[in-house]
A and B are shown apart, each in its own frame.
Chain A
Amino acid sequence: MTDSTSEGVLSGVRVLEIGGGIAAAFASHFLAGYGADVVRTEGPTAALTHDEAVYLCAGKRRVDVPDPELRRLALGADILIEDGKPGALAARGLDPVALRKENPALVIVSITPFGQTGPYADFEATNLTSFAMGGLMSLTGSPHREPLLTGGNQAQALGGMNAFGAAVTAYYGALMQGEGDWVDISLQECAAGMLELYGPGSAYTGAGPQMRMGNSVRSVWAIYPCLDGYAGVCALERQVHSLFDLLGDPVLNEERFRDPYQRAEQDDELTAMLYAWFAQRTKAEILALSPIHKVPFGAVLTPNDLLASENLANRRFFDSVQTPEGEARVPGRPFEGFVWTMDSLHEAGADTDTVRSEWLAGAPA
Chain B
Amino acid sequence: MKQLPLQGVRVADLTMMWAGPYATRVLAEMGAEVIKIESPRSWDNIRTLIPQPDKTDPWNSSYYFNDYNRDKKSLTLDLSMARGRELFLQLVKRCDVVIENYRADVLEKLGLTYDVLKSAREDIILVSMVGFGHSGTERGHVGFGPIIEQMSGLTSLSGYGDDGVPFKTGISYGDPIAGLAAASAVALALIKRRKTGKGTYVDLPQRETMSTMVGEKFVAASMRGEEPVHFGARSPHWAPQGVYRCKGEEQWLAISCRTDQEWRSLTSLIARPDLADLTLEQRRARQDELDIVIGAWAAEQDAFGAMMQLQSMKVPAGRVLDSDNIHRDPQLATRGYWVELPHPRMTPWKQPSASWRLQEANPQIRNHAPLFGEHNDEILRDLLGLTAADRAQLADQGVIGTEPVNPGIG
Contact = CB atoms under 8 A, between A and B. Distances in A.
A148 B232 contact: yes
B256 interface: yes
B214 A152 contact: yes
Interface stretch (B79-87, B167-175, B390-398): B167-175
A86 B182 CA distance: 29
Contact of A166 (B190, B212, B233, B358): B358
A236 B227 CA distance: 33
A168 to B, nearest CB: 4
B189 interface: yes
Contacts, number: 504
Interface in A283-325: 287, 290-291, 294-307, 310-312, 314-315, 317-318, 321, 323, 325
B216 A55 contact: yes
B65 to A, nearest CB: 9
Contacts of A162: 180, 355-356
B133 A334 contact: no
A327 B315 CA distance: 38
Nearest to A140: B170
Contacts of A278: none
B379 interface: no
Contact of B316 (A124, A196, A337): A124
Interface in B374-410: 408-410
Interface string A143-185: 0011111111110011001101110111111111101011111
Contacts of A275: none
Contacts of B133: 315, 336
A145 B160 contact: yes
Interface string A191-226: 011111111111111001111111100000101000
Interface of B: 2-6, 8, 18, 22, 26, 30, 45, 49-51, 63-64, 66-67, 103, 133, 135-138, 140-148, 150-160, 165-173, 176-177, 180-185, 187-192, 194-195, 200-205, 208-209, 211-223, 225, 227-228, 230-233, 235, 237, 241, 243-245, 250, 252, 254-256, 258, 262, 311, 314-327, 329-332, 334-335, 337-338, 346, 349-353, 355-361, 408-410
Given A10-B188, A230-B155, 17 more contacts: A9-B189, A140-B170, A152-B157, A158-B177, A169-B5, A170-B358, A195-B171, A200-B63, A223-B155, A232-B168, A296-B142, A296-B143, A302-B156, A302-B221, A312-B136, A328-B218, A337-B201
